[in-house]
Structures are given as C-alpha cells and as structure tokens.
Chains A and B, each alone.
Chain A
Amino acid sequence: MRVNLHVKDRVAIVGAGMTLFRRRLLETPRELAWEAVRQALDEAGLTLRDIDCIVTGTAPDAFDGVHFNGEYLADGAGGFGKPVSRVYVGGGTGVMVPIAAWWHAASGHCDTVLAVAEEKMSPAMPHPQYVFAYIWDPILERPLGPNLIWIFAMEMRRYMYKCGAKKEDIALVSVKNKGNALDHPAAQAAAKITVEDVLNSELLVWPVNRLDISPVSDGAVALVIAREKTARRITDSPVWIEGVGFTLDNTHWYNRELAYPRYVQYAARMAYRMAGIERPWKEIDVAEPYDPFDYKELHHIEGLMLARPCEAWKLVKEGYFDRDGELPTSPSGGLLGVGNPIAAAGLMKVAEIFWQLRYEAGKRQVRKPVHKGVAQAWGDLMQAGTVIVLGN
C-alpha cells in the first residue's frame, strides 16, 4: 500500500452487520443499533469486551424524534462506559462514521472501534418529507414553501440540461440498482422494473418521478474496525481503509453550478491521494456512489472521477456500471434498491465494498476480480462529500 500520509497504524475493517431496511420497523432506534452491532461482532468473532471505542452516526434528530439521539443510541451501539462520539454531516454521515472510526484507530488512540449508523425515519408523521422542511433556510427559502424533492429536481434538471441526458437515460440507474438489490437479503425496494415503470410512476416534481427516488426506511449498520496487529489476529482477510476524504461546501446551493458536485471531487482527491491512487477510473474495481436519487449516482460517479463530467449517463447505457460490467457501481442495489435509512444507508455502502473485497457478497459478487473499492456519501444542501477507499 502506498500511503502518502503519516499514520501511526494501518487500519482495517474486520466485520460488518446490518438489520433489514424497511419502511417501518418495530425496533426502537437503540434496538436497531443493537441488532446491527451484534451481527458485526459475531461476524468478527468478538464481544464488547474486545472493543475500545465507539463512533455513531445518525442524521437529523428530528427523524427519530429523539433529541441527543447519539447519546440515546449509545448503549445499543455498545457504548456504555466507553469513549463514544457522534459525527454528523447530513446524508454524508454514513461514510463519515467509518472515517472518524479510522482516525480513532489510525491515531493509535483506540485499538478496536465500532462504527455504528442508525436511522429511524418512520416516527415522523404525516410523512418524513415534512421534517426535511426544516433543513431549508428559514428566512430565504422556507417562506417559498419548498418540498425537499424540489432541490433534487432542480439539480437533476440542470444535469440533464448541461449534459444532454434525458429522463429515460437517468431512469436506467434506478432499473440497475433496484435489480441489483434483488440479491440483497436486507433490501426493501428490490424490483425488476423497466425504464417505462420509472417514467410512468407518480410524477412528484418534474423531472422527478416516484421511482427516481429511494424509499423512506428504518435500519442500522455496524462495522468493526481495528489496527493492523489486532486486525490480523481477528481475521485472515482484513479489508484495509486506504484512503479517507471529506469536504463541506457552504449552504448557498443556489450560488453554484448544480450540474457538477465540486465538494465530492475535493473529498475524492483527498482520499485517492492518501491511497496512492492516480487514475481512479482505472484503479478502482468496484464503487458504491451515493444514490438517494438515480441522477445522483451519475453525479457522484463523475465527482469521484470514475467517469468524465457528463459521461456517466452514456456509460450506464452501455452496461459499463453493471455488476458484470467494466466498473460495477452500487452492486448492493444502493439506496434505490436496498433502502435509505439516511446514515445507515451510507454505511451499508461501505459494508458492501467490504463484502465485495472479501468475495463474500454471494450472488451480488461482481464478476471481475477486485482489489480496490470506493464508497461515497453526499449530504446537506448540496454541500457535503465523504469518501472512503478500501483495499484487500
């Protein structure tokens, strides 16, 4: 590994676990965290006694409806009597959690770290979309009565205009990801659908139809992360965290070009530099770009420099990003297929790269041999990028 950064120790992922992703689960938020942590610890063959530190992540407290949700979750995440911290960058949180877990371990401060992300969106009534209203600026935006989907529609429209993509080109991403999710045991929205199904689904905010969007979900995911010496004791096939990157832009999303996510590119450059990757489009074998909306996957593929700006939609048409394609993206089924419990969805993507690099993804395993993978999440008002590069 060619790390261009001084760290005390290499850090690896040695176990992963997750709950089902569903529209509505009986479990409380802390029980979801508990279920995911138990799975991850079991997979690594560890108990809480072996864990030094805990990093948690959940998106706005307003979804779960519990203030200080991080503290509330802590015991379910295994955090009683241990150093616990919570990180938050909106939708980018899911990938920020293992990034923070990485620095806990790479610094030498903790030998083993649990990275836990949870989201329960179902408590908010009448619909969680209502809760999203309060992410808008209270003075300049809320008086206009916005719905969350507006901002995505505006970005998608700009991408279509700038790149010459049509709705039916973008819908292919939804078809691909929901299809991939058919092989994911936790998936909520797996389906064999066609481009016509997407175009004929309920029109919400043109150009966005119902099937262009990931569903509302409850769920949790956990990873066990360890320093090199410990990781090698735990497993013969650790998956190394080779690069991490994260960037935040400002909240003035209407003051910048919406067709290209600059903040994702900055985060990706940071992660690739650390991982010694110079040509990501050649060196990355499998990717999990964040796909809360189908166009977002294309946006993020370009931000991650896995395709040139405005080229991703053309490559999707060629099958380039299919599971048996040149550069498989979202082999898990992504947020569109597996589901979107916000923070947990980002961490699910990291778990998928972990399983892919261990050849443990079963029917989801991509056809080509894999050495390096990248997972990415995006968040807030078109402003946060979080990227993690893994290698086996």
Chain B
Amino acid sequence: MASEGKPVNPPGTYLKRQDLERLPGIIRYKPSARYLFAAGQALSRFLKGLKEGKILGVRCPVCGRVYVPPRAYCEYCHAPTSEWVELPGTGVVHTAVVSYIATDRSRMEKPEIVGVIRLDAPGYREDSYEFAGLFHKICGVTPEQVMDGSVIGMRVKPRWKPPEERTGSITDIECFEPVEGGEQ
C-alpha cells in the first residue's frame, strides 16, 4: 500500500490576477462574432402567437403529446407535429429562485425572481415527469415567499405587455404573476 498518495507532484504554474496583466507575451483579443438565429417554422409561429397574446403548442398526431414550446417534430415518434393547440396560459410554478447576479456575474441592483412554469395543457397527468412549460420571470411574489416555499405550486398566469409593445419575442410576456385568489 503506497503511503504517499497519487498524483505525485502534479505540475502547473499558478498566476495571480495582477501577474497576468504584466506577463510578457500576454495576448489580449476581443472577438466580434455576430449571429442571426433562425427560429424555424414551429417557433416562428409560436412567437407570432405571443405577439397576439396567445401561448401556442403543437400536438403529435401519433402519440398525442402536446409540446410547449412547440417543436416541428415529435421527439418520441419523430413524426411531424400536425395540430396547433392554444393553451389558457395558466399554470403552476414548478420551481422559483431569487437572482442577485446578472449574466456577466455583476451584482443586480434589485433581485429578480425567475423560475419554471408548468402550464395547463391537455394530456399531462398532474405529476408527470414531462410537462408543457416555460422558463420565465415571476412577479407579484416576494423573495421571502420564494424562500419559504409558498411560491412552488402557486397558480400563475402570464402578464402580457400592451399589444403595441409586443415584438414577437418571449419577452412579450413580462412575467408570470399569481392568479388572484387562485393560490393553492
């Protein structure tokens, strides 16, 4: 049995942050990569639905699954999805968190609450592993409510932007907010 553990003397040369800037031969490079992402047929229609204040899903003609957000094909059957379904937009909070940091890890001035919404959609059992759902912001609740657990399972509905401000984007929904008197 070896007394000295492996790995023995792992190599590597640590640098402090300030050493990095002063290092001879350090190369600073700023990439500039711009993209235009195609939404494709299914998502384009979904985004147009958002502009009209509707949450749309699609149904697989073979297995009957309803997909939200919609896909052009069923993941299980690989069949083209065929039928559009308009959802009521209501649902329950699957999970919710309070963010104190922005995308680049800088501190946010005001914390933001985000989560996953399990949408009311035909064909899913109440506690099924898969469900129709969206990732979005949650408003009208406090960080304390997120932390004490009362937000999970809460009934919510989309708060839409005024029609003239909608652009056909996921942000046409400002956030999901509690359904009045609908807390369960």
User: Is chain B in direct contact with chain A in the complex (CB below 8 A)?
Assistant: yes
Total contacts A to B, CB within 8 angstroms?
Answer: 191
Q: Tell me whether B15 and A361 are in contact (CB under 8 A).
A: no
Tell me, in angstroms, the Cα distance from A169 to B146 when the chains sit together.
18
Segment 82-119 of B: residues with Cβ below 8 Å from A:
94-105, 114-117
Q: Tell me whether A22 and B12 are in contact (CB under 8 A).
A: yes
In the complex, what residues of B have CB within 8 A of residue A17's CB?
Answer: 7, 10
Q: Tell me whether B75 and A250 are in contact (CB under 8 A).
A: yes
Q: Tell me whether B115 and A154 are in contact (CB under 8 A).
A: yes
Q: Tell me whether A20 and B12 are in contact (CB under 8 A).
A: yes
Instruction: Across the interface, name the chain A residue whose C-beta is closest to B75.
Output: A250
Interface residue? A141 (CB, 8 A): yes
Q: Tell me whether A16 and B94 are in contact (CB under 8 A).
A: no
Q: Tell me whether B171 and A139 are in contact (CB under 8 A).
A: no
Within the complex, which residue of B7, B13, B114 is in contact with A26, where a contact is CB–CB below 8 Å? B13
Segment 1-28 of B: residues with Cβ below 8 Å from A:
1-17, 20, 23
Interface residue? B170 (CB, 8 A): yes
Q: Tell me whether B11 and A39 are in contact (CB under 8 A).
A: yes
Q: Tell me whether A153 and B99 are in contact (CB under 8 A).
A: yes
Q: Known: A140-B170, A154-B95, A207-B97. Is A186-B149 also a contact (CB below 8 A)?
A: no
Q: Tell me whether A359 and B95 are in contact (CB under 8 A).
A: no
Tell me, in angstroms, the Cα distance from A203 to B107 when the chains sit together.
10
In the complex, what residues of A have CB within 8 A of residue B149's CB?
Answer: 161
Q: Tell me whether B95 and A161 are in contact (CB under 8 A).
A: yes
In the complex, what residues of B have CB within 8 A of residue A262's CB?
Answer: 129
Segment 108-126 of A: residues with Cβ below 8 Å from B:
122, 126
Q: Tell me whether B5 and A183 are in contact (CB under 8 A).
A: yes
Tell me, in angstroms, the Cα distance from A35 to B9 when the chains sit together.
11
In the complex, what residues of B have CB within 8 A of residue A149's CB?
Answer: 99, 101
Interface residues of A (CB under 8 A from B): 16-27, 32, 35, 39, 43, 65, 122, 126-127, 129-130, 133, 138-141, 143-147, 149-150, 153-155, 157-158, 161, 183-186, 203-208, 218-219, 250, 252-258, 260, 262, 351, 355, 359-365
